[in-house]
Amino acid sequence: MANSDTQEDDARLNLVERVKELKCLYDIARISADASMSGENKLKSIVTILPQAWKYPEKACAKIVIDKQSYSNGNYPHSVKRQRSNIIVDGARRGYIEIAYPKKYLVDDDNKPFLEEEEKLLETVASEIAAIIKRKETAQEKLTLEDQLRHADRLATIGQLAASVAHDINEPLGHIIGFAELLQRYPGLPAQALADVDKIFSISLHVREIVKQLLVFSRPVLPKKRNVNLNDLIRKVLTFLEFRFASEGVKLKVHLNPDLPEIDADPTQMNQALVSLMVNAIQAMPNGGEISIWTWRERSRIFLAIEDTGIGMDEKTLRKVFTPFFTTKEVGMGTGLGLPIVHSII
């Protein structure tokens, strides 16, 4: 009779445990399907409800670690009893989920605080978390692709516009520049008139440069690639901008790895990209500052980093930084085409 009672108690306890596990899985499925919750809030909710499915819910602590970001229910303790399952996304280990009991608690006399079913439950929850992460990243990739398509559409529209008006602009512009050059050579021209002609000449060249930049989008020039040394390209650009650095109160810190192999690139386009980045950095520091430049190698990759001590960009500006004609500079200080062209070249 006693044996029968024990079997009934065991069966009842097993049933209670299975109900707790099913409720936990239901709650996690509900959280996973909630489109209004961010990925971070979903993970925080999961670590809150997870201990309730374990044998000792009042003692159990849960922790999720994803990409070195940790989530736990309360102050996660140092533990002597813990159970862990890896979180695998697209075949790569991204973190783990863990259940632990604090050291101060004694759980089972047989030193087995975890049930076999709990290990399977933890693996199931780890798989669900992996699915949450995958869905989030897939949605983000979709948004990125849509943004890239919109960006490509804008460039195509600009290209069509540039191709249709470039000839009409360049022809009269060429005459303006030519006549301005003739006037500059005219003897006896009053000083004020000569200054005005110089302004006409300078502004006309600026307009011609804008048209040339626009044509980059309408008819991209095929790069003429050859083996070049990135460090040599950087040094030439720094020499070219040396006077401007000094006049703007900009100091340089240059850290070029001397052991870089040559890269396959168009030196003219690389020069254009480097100059644009440097000038952008200078303009971000109206009261002077410091530009740091690094090159380094990691296995088969060559890296270049340019950093300035300027005012930086807020999130709104960062989202538009490669949009043609978008600029935060004052009128006459920039066209909003520098970084889009750098992006196009790279």
pLDDT digits (tens, 9 = 90+) for 158-183: 666 666 677 678 778 888 888 888 88
Q: Is the pLDDT of residue 111 over 90?
A: no
How would residue 91 be classed by pLDDT, with cut points 50, 70 and 90?
A: confident
Sheet containing strand 79-89, edge to edge, reads 69-72, 61-66, 92-102, 79-89
Q: Which residue has the higher pLDDT, 65 or 345?
A: 65
Could you report the per-residue pLDDT of 234-281, keeping only the tens digit for each? 998 888 888 888 888 999 999 999 989 999 988 888 888 888 888 888
Q: What is the pLDDT of residue 256?
A: 93
Flag the least confident range among 5-14, 25-34, 88-97.
5-14
Phi, psi dihedrals of residue 289, rounded to the nearest 5°: 170, -150
**Token pair belonging to 147:** 């943004």
pLDDT in tens, 212-227: 766 665 555 667 889 9
pLDDT recorded at residue 147: 76
42 C-beta neighbours (distance < 10 Å), count? 21
Question: What is the average pLDDT value for the chain, to the nearest integer?
Answer: 81
What's residue 232's pLDDT?
A: 93
Helical H segments across 107-259, by residue range: 116-184, 191-218, 230-240, 242-247
Residue 342: its pLDDT value, please? Answer: 83
Residue appearing with tokens 């195509």: 156
Predicted local distance difference test score (pLDDT) of residue 136 = 87
194: confidence class by pLDDT, cuts 50, 70, 90 = confident
For residues 105 and 94, give the distance between their C-alpha atoms in angstroms, rounded to a whole number: 30
Per-residue buried b or exposed e for 281-295, using 16+ beta carbons within 10 Å of the residue's own CB: bbbbbeeebebebeb
